[in-house]
Chain A
Amino acid sequence: MKKVFILLALLSLLGVSSVSEAATEFKIELNLPAKSGEYHNPYVAAWIENAQGQSVRTLVLWRDGAKWLKDIRRWWRKVGRKDQNIVDAMTSATRPAGSYQLNFKAVDDQQQPLSAGNYVLRIEIIRENGGRSMTKQLFTLDGESHQFTLAKSYEIAQSLFIIKE
């Protein structure tokens, strides 16, 4: 009897979480600028930190071998080196300059919905023989849709971050 109750409770929890997962989405339009001369594809990490500066979700990791992970400085220091599982789970090849449409559910690394509150989206882009960009966008999950324009800097062209409820 008890077991059935727990099972039902679990099912209802799962039901609730899948509803809210569907509710909020992140969209990133990531624009990587073309560069003249010798060009290496950039290493890219995009992740979400909570108000305490702790990462709650790695969204993007475009990388080469492990040797170069350290070059994605902040992501490596705050996230990658502390959690091999995230690194393994995110393996994804680098991409050249261009425009990329990326969609994510608003969930944390454990696939649990992100609660309402303040967060920071960070996009770190580093290119061998090139430069680095550290884009930082504060946002609030408040049940409303939002759109942010991400300013261009050395390794990022003007990009977009959209929260879709």
Chain B
Amino acid sequence: MKIHKLALGAVALLMIGQASAHNRWILPSHFNLSNDKGEWVMVDVTASNETFNVDKPMGADKMKITGPDGKSVRPGSSYRGHRKSVVDIHLEQSGTYQLKMGGDPSYWTSYQLKGDDKKHWLRGVNKLQRQAKLPKGAINAQTIESYANVVTYITLNSPSSDFKTTNKGLEFVPVTHPSDVAQGEKAQFKFIFNGKAQAGVEVEIVREGVRYRNDPNGLKLKSDKKGIVSFTLEQAGRYLLMAEHESEVKNNPQADTVGGQIFLTFEAVLD
């Protein structure tokens, strides 16, 4: 469990420190299903920069599955391999299921040493703890409280939309239902930060199959005053949405800044 947490944290650290670390995503076998007798889905969980080719394992034991009634759903079975984890889930009720990892804060303290431009990091060290942990002569100490949400939605029969927010860090709020995004139709997603609509969230949306084209063709957007991004995807397919936002905070004894990331997987249905 501890190792798992550290591994996740290390990825988060890299994300903050440099833009080129691993993305994480949950990719279900199906986003939309029809059946009056329930359905099975299988879900891949991985840390990978190739959308959607798996790369590094990421434990799925912390994945929270929330059913349409708001109650948590237990997975059938799971397997952790060297490139991905796989989770089997039986959907019994009609409606939309939320699959989510993350949501817990992690703390990262950065500092520099005199005469050295390099940023050093202390993981799992918050602002209250850092004085004791920083080496002698450390300058420019900064602590970030980081939240990352890796999330996807699966709908059996009719979609439902009772998704609770934690109001901590950056969160995704559907305007267009995530199971109702279609090729050639305008869609809108909203982002909240600490529970409030957040302008200026940096969003990138990448279609699957990046390995087989030269230009990843990521769609780059920024949320408006209402925290909303609007887009029309011309091609059907599976997409990874990445969103990031960081801001300074006062009145938080544990950190100087709060950062949030979202990795949302969804499909644009063929028209």
Q: Which of B30, B33, B37, B271 contacts A134 (CB 8 A)?
A: B271
Q: Which of B158, B182, B270 contacts A82 (CB 8 A)?
A: B158
B157 proximity list for chain A (CB < 8 A): 81, 84
A69 an interface residue at 8 Å Cβ cutoff? yes
- Closest-by-CB residue of A relative to B236 is A73
- Give A19 to B159 CA distance when docked, in angstroms: 39
Q: Which chain B residues in 41-57 approach chain A with CB under 8 Å? A: none
Q: Which chain B residues in 168-202 approach chain A with CB under 8 Å? A: 180, 182
- Give A77 to B236 CA distance when docked, in angstroms: 14
A74 proximity list for chain B (CB < 8 A): 182, 269-271
B32 proximity list for chain A (CB < 8 A): 70, 76-77, 81
B61 an interface residue at 8 Å Cβ cutoff? no
Give how many A-B residue pairs fall within 8 Å (CB-CB). 40
B37 proximity list for chain A (CB < 8 A): 66
Q: Is the CB of A76 within 8 A of B34?
A: yes
A35 proximity list for chain B (CB < 8 A): none
Q: Is the CB of B35 within 8 A of A67?
A: yes
Q: Contacts A66-B34, A66-B36, A70-B32 known; A81 to B158 CB distance under 8 Å?
A: yes
A132 proximity list for chain B (CB < 8 A): 270
Q: Is the CB of A81 within 8 A of B271?
A: no
A80 an interface residue at 8 Å Cβ cutoff? yes
A68 an interface residue at 8 Å Cβ cutoff? yes
B30 proximity list for chain A (CB < 8 A): 70
The B interface, classified by DSSP as helix, strand, loop or mixed, is loop
- Give A76 to B158 CA distance when docked, in angstroms: 10
Query: In whole Å, how far is A55's beta carbon from the nearest beta carbon of chain B?
Result: 14
Scoring B30, B34, B158, B159 by chain A CB atoms within 10 A of each residue's CB, the highest score goes to: B34
A73 proximity list for chain B (CB < 8 A): 269-271
- Give A60 to B158 CA distance when docked, in angstroms: 20
Query: In whole Å, how far is B257's beta carbon from the nearest beta carbon of chain A?
Result: 41
Interface pairs A-B: 3 shortest CB-CB: A69-B34, A70-B34, A67-B35
12 further contact pairs, Cβ within 8 A, besides A74-B271, A81-B159, A82-B158: A66-B36, A70-B32, A73-B271, A74-B182, A74-B270, A77-B180, A80-B34, A81-B32, A81-B158, A84-B158, A132-B270, A134-B270
Interface of A toward B, CB cutoff 8 Å: 65-70, 73-74, 76-77, 80-82, 84, 132, 134
Identify 10 residue pairs between A and B in the complex whose beta-carbon atoms are under 8 Å apart, listed by A's number: A66-B34, A67-B39, A68-B34, A70-B30, A70-B33, A74-B269, A74-B270, A74-B271, A81-B34, A81-B157
